[in-house]
């Protein structure tokens, strides 16, 4: 992540040259958020440069930091390089603040795309990035952890100077064990979180697969697929592009009636509220914020074909997708690569549409089904 001298906080009392703990000297500020700041530091004991996440001393933030440490301790079972997950070096205290020590990485995928004027990545870069992200999610699922906030800003390029881009997943601040999931918890980021989160239904690792699909499209096109300012907008975009959400999902949602009207006399039991109805109830006026507006996933296929200047017709992807994958072949035709990107979006939709009772009891089964079809 590139250093930014404008970051910093009088509230935290940290500036360039500040010593955190006993021997971590601040050299630059890398980012900030409601939790505090991320700094580039030099360990004066071994002269190694690392990234230090400095959490504010607010009681709620300290509790969240302790929960993050709990997750990071579990991730020690995984090889960070082989599993494409940021390496955690432990934590220390700076007064009442909890500081998390991570390996220093280069740049977020969000900035990486921005450096290319948001034109999207060429397939020779996109394919291995998606492969690595699927690998990271597979390994998180293997230890029963949901990341819950997968998006380009939380994916880091290890080193831009390398011939093949390597990425790692970062920020486990709201990650949790599948066994500790609480339906209705507000997690994730608007525009990237799965329908289960917006509706307040039970969820598992499959929500990360949904986010991966949206990241895949954004990396290919350079712009978000569902950039809503409110959950209503995002649900509206999803329904317009991928169809009505399944009844079994809507029936179990704590917040379904915030966005849908129930009518037991109609064949379609739930009807999405009109913009006028939602504005009357909430005083929020829906906005059209999409750079790309799709009517169905087949439109996405055509968009990607144009984006990549493909010649010939791409195989049309139906909802009954085969689970065979072209990913690990030595050479992937651009047509096949386009299909892979669409599968990143379509497979989570298929999983979402499947009742839990029709899947194996294991919580992670849904995400493994999807990941095995991609990797």
CATH number of residue 75's parent domain: 3.30.200.20
Does one domain contain both 286 and 363? yes
Q: Tell which residue, 217, 181, 218, has the closest CA to residue 202.
A: 181
pLDDT tier for residue 358 given thresholds of 50, 70 and 90: low
Does one domain contain both 98 and 131? no
347 vs 341: CA distance, rounded Å: 10
- In the 8-state DSSP scheme, what is residue 368? H
Which residues are within 8 A (CB) of 82 and not within 5 positions of it... i.e. 6 or more apart?
none
Kindly state whether residue 11 falls inside one of the protein's structural domains: no
Total domain count for the chain? 2
258 vs 247: CA distance, rounded Å: 15
Q: Tell which residue, 52, 30, 57, 56, has the closest CA to residue 42.
A: 52
**Which residue, 84, 103, 122, sits at the end of a domain?**
103
- Check whether 293 is labelled as a binding-site residue: no
Helical segments of the chain, H only: 59-75, 109-114, 123-142, 195-199, 206-221, 231-242, 247-251, 256-259, 275-282, 297-307, 334-352, 365-374
Q: Provide the domain limits for residue 80.
A: 19-103
**Which residue, 54, 71, 103, sits at the end of a domain?**
103
Terminal-to-terminal C-alpha distance of the chain: 27
Does one domain contain both 53 and 122? no
Q: What is the DSSP string of 255-322?
A: SHHHHEEE-TTSSS-EEEPPHHHHHHHH-PPP----SS--SSHHHHHHHHHHHTT--SPPPPPPSS--
Q: Which CATH number is 113's domain given?
A: 1.10.510.10
Mean pLDDT of the chain: 84
Helix (H) / strand (E) containing 99: strand 97-103
Does one domain contain both 24 and 56? yes
**Which residue, 61, 80, 103, sits at the end of a domain?**
103
Does one domain contain both 91 and 128? no
Instruction: Write down the pTM of the prediction.
Output: 0.85
Half-sphere exposure of 21 (CA within 13 A, CB side): 20
106 vs 112: CA distance, rounded Å: 10
Kindly state whether residue 10 falls inside one of the protein's structural domains: no
Kindly state whether residue 8 falls inside one of the protein's structural domains: no
Q: Tell which residue, 294, 289, 286, has the closest CA to residue 232.
A: 286
pLDDT tens for residues 131-156? Answer: 899 999 999 999 999 999 999 999 99
Kindly state whether residue 4 falls inside one of the protein's structural domains: no
Kindly state whether residue 5 falls inside one of the protein's structural domains: no
pLDDT tens for residues 344-353? Answer: 776 676 666 6
Kindly state whether residue 13 falls inside one of the protein's structural domains: no
Catalytic residue, chosen from 94, 106, 149, 208, is 149
Q: 149 an active-site residue?
A: yes
Q: What is the DSSP string of 224-243?
A: -SS--SSHHHHHHHHHHHH-
Kindly state whether residue 2 falls inside one of the protein's structural domains: no
Does one domain contain both 31 and 147? no
375 vs 370: CA distance, rounded Å: 9
Kindly state whether residue 307 falls inside one of the protein's structural domains: yes
pLDDT tens for residues 256-278? Answer: 999 999 988 877 899 999 999 99
Does one domain contain both 214 and 290? yes
Instruction: With a cut of 60, say whether residue 164 has pLDDT above it.
Output: yes
Does one domain contain both 193 and 269? yes
Does one domain contain both 293 and 161? yes
Q: What is the CA radius of gyration of the chain?
A: 21
């Amino acid at each position: 992540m590139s250093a930014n001298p404008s970051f910093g906080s009088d509230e935290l009392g940290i500036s360039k040259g500040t010593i955190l703990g006993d021997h971590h000297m601040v050299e630059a500020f890398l980012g900030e958020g409601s939790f505090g700041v991320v700094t580039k530091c030099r360990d004066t004991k071994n002269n190694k440069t690392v990234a230090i996440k400095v959490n504010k001393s607010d009681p709620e933030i300290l509790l969240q930091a302790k929960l993050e440490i709990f997750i990071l301790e579990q991730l020690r079972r995984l090889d960070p390089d082989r599993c494409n997950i940021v390496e955690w070096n432990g934590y220390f205290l700076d007064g009442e603040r909890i500081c998390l020590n991570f390996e220093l990485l280069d740049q977020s995928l969000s900035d990486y795309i921005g450096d290319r004027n948001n034109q999207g990545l060429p397939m020779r870069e996109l394919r291995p990035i998606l492969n690595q992200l699927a690998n990271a999610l597979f390994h998180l699922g293997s230890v029963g952890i949901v990341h819950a906030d997968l998006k380009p800003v939380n994916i880091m390029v290890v080193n831009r100077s390398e011939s093949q881009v390597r990425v790692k997943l970062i920020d486990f601040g709201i990650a949790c064990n599948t066994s500790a999931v609480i339906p209705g918890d507000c997690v994730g980021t608007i525009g990237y979180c799965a329908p289960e989160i917006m509706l307040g239904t039970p969820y598992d690792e499959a929500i990360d697969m949904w986010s991966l699909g949206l990241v895949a499209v954004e990396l290919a096109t350079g712009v978000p697929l569902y950039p809503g300012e409110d959950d209503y907008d995002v649900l509206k975009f999803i329904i317009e592009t991928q169809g009505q959400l399944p009844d079994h999902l809507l029936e179990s949602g704590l917040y379904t009636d915030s966005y849908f009207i129930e009518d037991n006399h109609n064949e379609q039991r739930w009807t999405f509220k009109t913009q006028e109805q939602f504005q009357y109830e909430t005083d929020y006026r829906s906005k059209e914020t999409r750079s790309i507006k799709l009517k169905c996933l087949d439109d996405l296929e055509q968009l990607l074909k144009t984006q990549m200047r493909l010649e010939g017709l791409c195989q049309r992807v139906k909802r009954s997708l085969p689970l065979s994958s072209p990913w690990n072949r030595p050479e992937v035709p651009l047509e096949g690569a386009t299909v892979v990107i669409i599968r990143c979006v379509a497979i989570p939709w298929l999983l979402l549409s499947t009742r839990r009772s029709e899947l194996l009891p294991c919580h992670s089964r849904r995400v493994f089904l999807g990941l095995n079809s991609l990797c």
